[in-house]
Structure 1
Amino acid sequence: MAKTNPGRFFEDYALGDVITHAVPRTVSGGERALYHALYPARHALASSDAFAQACGLPASPLDDLAAFHVVFGKTVPDISLNALANLGYAEGRWLRPVWPGDTLRSVSEVIGIKQNSNGKSGVVWVRTTGLNQHDEAVLEYVRWVMVRKNDHDLPAPETVLPELRNTVPANRLVIPEGLDFTDYDFALAGEPHRWGDYEVGEQIDHVDGVTIEEAEHMLATRLWQNTAKVHFDATNRDDGKRLIYGGHVISMARALSFNGLANAQMIIALNGGAHANPCFAGDTVRAWSEVLDKAETTAPGVGAIRLRLVATKGGAPFQLRGDDGKYLPDVLLDLDYWALMPL
């Protein structure tokens, strides 16, 4: 009997499957240090216990995207080990902060399935929940992946497409307990711009760029225990290149957005996202943002801002799609999220 696991193929998924992912992970200050070493991450709330305590939290939480990467990484052996591409995200919500010492695990449910017309692959939709050691949900999101089909002769399953919201409504945003920006220190945060200084439709060029290195990507992908073959095995693609993990691009773009959005302190919802084009070592990532919406919250001094974050590999800022409606070839990422900012 075979002891090794080749990973799931498209025909191995069925609507309603609930998958408990292996290897829980206890996070510590080590994850924070490595996250800040891999990306130019400087948001004060995730950097300083003293700053976080002045904002009503017991300590500095783990970076929101670091928590996302840990939860996501757990799912890869069961969801995307044999994936051709990770296609998109929706209905993501951060439900409570993750603290050093928390132990995270992941559970996913198959909520949609559709075979592609070529009969060689299909798309699988899953809703993933990240839980801590108290079985409290810390994060939830939907993603869909294109997965290889192993037996091309098997008939296609019945197509089921999930109904997904385009946006997480502002009234469903979960504000961390105790968060209070009434006495927010703008000098320590790095910029003076508050929630009221941003207008819907405003666009921000984040100016800076970072060239993706093979070594850093490999370290990051191992850190998050992401085992997808396209990130490790250069023989897995016809071009002989290792594909940069999409989450690496997300975190790089988020870190670059500090220049202009230093006070967008916490990501609390992921409305949607697409990895528009592949990223490879040697590409230089730049980023720009657009303000899509704003909302007040019930927390003192705290506003919510909805942002589009676009990462490119050298394209002009504020250019997203061509005349044909398709993403321009230099666009790497199109991410729509809610963040919390002082009023």
Structure 2
Amino acid sequence: MATFLVTPRMNPALRARVERAVSSQARARHKAAGLGMASPFASRQGFRPARLLPLLALVVLGGLFAAMMIHERRELEAERSALLREIAEMRAGLPAGHEGLIAETERLVMQAAGEEDAPEIIDPALRAAGALDAVLRRPALYVHAPASDLRDARLVDDAARGSDKDAFLVCLLHPPASTSERDLLAKVRGVYFAGAKVEDETANLRRLAEARLGLAVLSPAFEGSVRAAQDRNVLKQLRRALEKAPVALAKKAAGAELMLVVADSATGARVTLVDLAAKKTLLQVRRRADEIALSARASSQREEIEACSLAVSVRRAVTE
């Protein structure tokens, strides 16, 4: 800044002090020089919008990410709410106390398959004419598996899944005319024991697996998994489990009044019938199938014939 207070003939240092005294720009340059700065002022170049593009891009990306996260969270909560509603709707009609059915039946199964020398039990009421048939028409759960699997809590689930309605069950409820090869073969030949015909004849008995699988997805533990899920993929897996579970059959199984357990071992099959409501063992016997010399025609169905013979032997223990 030009000033009449300085002249070319003045001492340079004096002239600089005078200029600093009267000029803010001069003072700023002096201070900047003392700080090692080339200039105290920002560039006077014109504004360039292109310089804001990286910042704008970050803002846009951040906004998109935030919007995506909000959308994902809303979708997650919507799916969670829908799944929880379905579970609540499926629980409608379940009998009181169904929550403890899986644990209680597992305990009874392990007990039934347990002690090899357990005493024989036949409730006197079963010996009356027609009493056994009347009892076997009540709603019941059924499982037939190796005793070694049924007494191990880690194997009970797989054992129950592998237990279908079989020749033993059919012949216990609807015995053959006799234990001759002809009558036994006529009873089991051509029968698909997991099929519709057998289902119709044994509709009041439900497989234990149906109860375990179906009630598991209606349990507080399963609901807790739904509430805790933080990923839509996890919720989808839980939904598939719910859709796959035999809930309708489990609701029938939950109303069971009895449980029938057949535990096979090298010393024979232990057959146990428990009244779940009365918490009472009605029947506990160990029997073997009658030894039958089968013809070539019948030998291909030996397993079914022996299971049917075993059922007749159990009935005989009660009624004779």
Say whether the fold is shared (TM-score over 0.5). no
User: Which structure has more helix as a fraction of its residues?
Assistant: 2
Calculate the TM-score normalised by the size of structure 2: 0.23
Larger C-alpha radius of gyration, 1 or 2? 2
Calculate the TM-score normalised by the size of structure 1: 0.22
Higher relative contact order (CA 8 A, sep 6+): 2
